[in-house]
Amino acid sequence: MSTRHTRRGGPPEAVGDILAQYIRSSGLKDKLRSPKIYDCWPQVAGDEASAHTRVVGFTNAVLHVEVDSAPWLQMLATFRKPELLQGLRGLMNGVPVKDIRFRVGSAPDSGEIISERNPWQKRPSPPTTRGT
């Protein structure tokens, strides 16, 4: 079995540059990462939840969201997930959103830089759903 290599003129190109050029020219960029879903998260989640979350990925129609504490993760995943999915689907015309997966991470408050965050800073708990 022989392989035949053909040589193009010019200097060699980095694989990353070739791949980036292909992704741009093929239209895959919009499908791989839809910036709109990152931008509409605060609108769908609301100001209070947005302050405790950040979108970290969107793959295979699943939105991945980091939450800054376990109580917020529990509240969003248990009580707000159907509402959040419905809101995302309403705003993301043509982009399927099948699920939202939450994980505890280092979701910064808006404008906060993660490396400067005080890990001992007390965070407010999410609102309770119990009647008072």
The pLDDT assigned to 130 comes to: 60
Can you give the pLDDT at residue 5?
A: 58
- State the pLDDT at residue 81: 96
pTM for the model: 0.58
Is the Cα torsion angle 111, 42, 85, 29 positive or negative in sign?
Answer: negative
Domains of the chain: 34-109 (3.30.300.180)
- Beta partners for residue 59, in sequence order: 62
Q: E strands of the chain, at which residues?
A: 53-59, 62-67, 99-104
pLDDT at 124: 57
**pLDDT, tens digit only, all 132 positions of the chain:** 555 655 667 788 888 778 777 766 765 555 555 567 888 899 999 999 999 999 988 888 899 999 999 999 999 999 999 999 999 998 887 788 899 999 998 755 444 433 334 443 445 566 666 655
- pLDDT of amino acid 96: 86
Name 39's Cβ contacts closer than 8 Å, sequence gap at least 6.
none
- Maximal C-alpha separation, the chain: 78
Supply the pLDDT for residue 35: 65
Enumerate residues 6+ apart whose C-beta is below 8 A from 97. Answer: 37, 61, 62, 63, 85, 88, 89
Q: Is there a contact between 63 and 88 (Cβ–Cβ < 8 Å)? A: yes
